[in-house]
Amino acid sequence: MTKPGKAVCVSQAVVLQRMLPQDANPAGNVHGGVILKCIDTAGSIAAMRHCRTAVVTASFDRMDFLKPAFIGEVVIFKASVNYAGRTSMEIGVRVEAEDLITGEIRHTGSAYLTYVALDQDRHPTPVPELILETAEDCRRNREARARREVRLAEKHRERASQNEATAC
């Protein structure tokens, strides 16, 4: 059963989090694990807005930490659906840090996550088609499809390797 399509802009999520001393790592920056948790939260909001069902994080495909975020800053997590398959979605999350005193905003990281939509019995369920409206939507979708092909090929290679009886 295919659900009606939804535009990328309908499900976008922006989550802001002020980083406090308990969010620090030993170097005094915001701990990467805190950033990852917030990314997953923002990503799940965008995924649930798209499919309007419960979702589960299937994979954290990639995380690029570009610059540190500092204690006292507001970290902004911008999540969008890049690709919608049959029951899964790739969500891209852009992470920015804002210095509240100067107003400077820095791109500090980007991540790609895959979520699977779940029905009431917690089984995978179809998601709406993704309607691409802008050139940016199309670019992100094209890149997400390429990442999906790489993920599937890697999963196939891993399974084949696990099934080889003579492998070390």
**pLDDT number for residue 47:** 98
Domains of the chain: 6-163 (3.10.129.10)
Q: Is 158 exposed, middle or buried (0-12, 13-18, 19+ CB in 10 A)?
A: exposed
Helical segments of the chain, H only? 8-11, 32-51, 135-163
First to last CA, the chain: 44
pLDDT band at 166; cut points 50, 70, 90: low
Is residue 168 over pLDDT 90? no
Percent of all residues in the chain with a pLDDT value above 90, rounded to a whole number: 85
Average pLDDT of 83-93? 97
Q: What is the mean pLDDT of the chain?
A: 94
Would the pTM of this model clear 0.85, i.e. be above it?
A: yes
Continuous segment of H or E residues that includes residue 65: strand 54-65
pLDDT band at 156; cut points 50, 70, 90: confident
Tell me which residue of 34, 146, 43, 48 sits closest to 94, measured CA to CA: 43
